[in-house]
Amino acid sequence: MMNIMNAFLFFLIVQSTIGERQNGEAQSSSDEVFRRLAALEQTVVGLKEENHKLVEKMSALKAQVKHMQYHTTIQNDSIREKRQAIESVAFTAGVIDFDLINLGAHQTIIFDRIITNIGNAYHTNTGIFTAPVHGVYSFTLTFMVVPGKSAYLEIIAGTRNVNDIYATSPTGGRHASTTKQWILELNKGDEVWIRNKDQGADIHGNMHTLLSGFLLFITE
């Protein structure tokens, strides 16, 4: 009887030991699973942070691309404007009235008969040329005075008196004319016109008094 009891106790001890070992292995396996889950969670967090940084970089790159596209558009518009200006700035206009008598001091000469006005930079209603772009322009003035008279004319660019041009005809003589040319650097929007200098000048028109101008080249 004692031997049976001892055997039964030994069996219980063995089973208990086996159960504890199995429980320990199960616990160890469960801990490993949790460790791996924690590592995966950290990896996911890291990937989210990297994705957020990539999104920010993409947004910054998109902003840079838009900025470059904007400036490229401006540059293309500027190039197109300059090409159009080079191709389309030239005019010649004359005084159609037979004579302009007793002109006032600083009176603008209106060249009201257009021969050529490519680009429409010269305005016949005011007698003023407006520079469409910053560049170097050529202007040529030919004017004629009536017999026995003389006249000073001035070319004005913006706010400055650039130069005078003078013509005279001896008393009892014939009509007399003179010509001058100027090369002027103008800013976009600068205005150029011809005006009488002193009171009382008499100019012969009838398309013998002419003003011409054109763009030579653009400057930055």
Residues 74 and 138 in one domain: no
Whether 80 and 96 map to the same domain: the answer is: no
Q: Is the pLDDT of residue 22 over 70?
A: no
- Can you give the residue range of the structural domain that contains 25? 1-87
What pLDDT score does 165 carry? 94
Q: Which of 107, 82, 108, 105 is nearest to 93 (CA)?
A: 108
Do β-strands 150-157 and 135-145 pair in parallel, antiparallel, or remain unpaired? Answer: unpaired
pTM: 0.62
Inform me whether the pLDDT recorded for 116 exceeds 80.
Answer: yes
Answer yes or no: are the C-beta atoms of 178 and 165 closer than 8 Å: yes
Stretch 27-49: mean pLDDT: 75
| Residue-wise pLDDT tens digits, 128-156 | 999 999 999 999 999 999 998 889 999 99
Helices vs strands, H then E, count in the chain: 1, 12
CB 210 within 8 A of CB 92: yes
Domain boundary among 18, 53, 87: 87
**More confident: 18 or 108:** 108
- Same domain assignment for residues 108 and 95: yes
> What per-residue confidence (pLDDT) applies to 138?
98
Last residue of a domain, one of 87, 111, 134: 87
What value does the mean pLDDT take over residues 113-117? 97
> Do 142 and 187 belong to one domain?
yes
Kindly state the percentage of the chain with pLDDT values over 70. Answer: 81
Residues 38 and 96 in one domain: no
Q: Is the pLDDT assigned to residue 50 strictly greater than 90?
A: no
3-class DSSP assignment, residue 54: helix
SS3 180: strand
Number of domains in the chain: 2
Q: What is the pLDDT of residue 67?
A: 80
Query: Locate tokens 């460790």: which residue?
Result: 35
What single-letter amino acid sits at 92?
T
Return the structure tokens found at 210.
Answer: 């002419």
Asked which of 56, 87, 118 is the last residue of a domain, the reply is 87
